[in-house]
Amino acid sequence: MTWRFALLIEPAASDDPRTDFADTFAVVDPTSPALSIGELSTQRGDGIFESIGVVAGHPQEVQAHLERLAQSARLCDLPAPNAAQWRQAVARAAAESPASGEGVIKLILSRGVEHGPAPTAWVTAAQAADNTAARTRGIRVVTLDRGYDSAAPARAPWLLLGAKTLSYAVNMAALREAKRRGADDAIFVSSDGLVLEAPTASVILRFGDRFVTPEPSGAILHGTTQVSLFEHLAAEGHEVAYESIPVADLARADAAWLVSSVRLAAPITAVDGAELAMDAELTASVNRYLLSPRD
């Protein structure tokens, strides 16, 4: 049985000293209208969000997601989220989650109603899609030019490439293009030939016992799952690194994955039609870690 939950939030100032924000939450029917027709999140995609994986009722990597929400708010000139308030909202949503299985909690902060006095905020919780096939059988990807060189984010910070915004039309178009090309997902590359990220995931490559991911910059969104996984791999004795990765390195990797908060680690089995070896044992070990409770 599927489940859903929704909570509207009256955003508190970032320096609000309260420890209990329950009176700023309003539970709403997730199947009923709850937003104004003038809401800028739907009119212009003017807002930010985070997706938190839930495993057996436990929300994963909450602190990392709240920190990234705050970073996105800074980049988008939105009011700084009150971390304590949002953490309590996450706990409230998680309390509605089943004690088994996987789910996803989404945090959304919008600029609000056009010409309105305050931002709009809400939290949703729902059952996650079944990602077993992607985790065990792998995914085929194609590379897609993102349309700018690797120096563009520094020249044009208003592109907001390092923020997790609600403006996901391009990301969804990329996934549709990947499907048209007979693949499951895409990897964005810069026009000067560097690997960036997937539309909804981070890229990790393995060369021998060394794991690399594109260096964090304004060109990509720093992945919470990737960071957690690198900490785990380093603790296991593996070498991890952030580097500029030429597109050609995709084909010569010993193994590769797309990693994200809900799908977790999906091994890449082909890039632009060229087969890539899948490390099933390591993938299973990585996903066991990612399915373990992590704060």
- Dump pLDDT digits (tens) for 34-68: 999 999 999 999 999 999 999 999 999 999 999 99
Domain span holding position 183: 132-290
Q: Are residues 140 and 255 in the same domain?
A: yes
User: Residue 170: which CATH number?
Assistant: 3.20.10.10
Query: Over the chain, what is the mean pLDDT?
Result: 96
Q: Tell whether 140 and 235 lie within a shared domain.
A: yes
Q: How much of the chain exceeds pLDDT 90, in percent?
A: 91
Count the neighbouring beta carbons within 10 Å of the beta carbon of residue 96.
16
Produce one character per residue of 171-191: b if its CB has 16 or more CB atoms within 10 Å, e if not.
eeebbeebeeeebbbbbbbbe
Can you give the CATH number for the domain in which 106 is found? 3.30.470.10
pLDDT at site 2: 76
The 10s digit of each residue's pLDDT in 10-38 is: 999 999 999 999 999 999 999 998 999 99
- Does residue 209 register a pLDDT over 90? yes
Confidence of residue 256 (pLDDT cuts 50, 70, 90): very high
CA distance 80 to 275: 45
The DSSP element (H or E) to which 249 belongs, if any, is helix 249-252
Q: What is the pLDDT of residues 130-150, one digit of tens each?
A: 999 999 999 999 999 999 999
pLDDT for residue 1 is more than 80: no
Residue 26 lies in a domain: yes
Q: Write down which residue in 77, 102, 127 finishes a domain.
A: 127
Q: Does 279 lie in the same domain as 144?
A: yes
Where a domain ends, among 91, 111, 127? 127
CA 81, CA 98: separation in Å to the nearest integer? 27
Is pLDDT of 187 > 80? yes
Domain count of the chain? 2
Q: Say if 48 falls within a structural domain.
A: yes
Q: Is residue 295 part of a domain?
A: no
Indicate whether 109 and 161 sit together in one domain: no
Q: Is residue 98 part of a domain?
A: yes
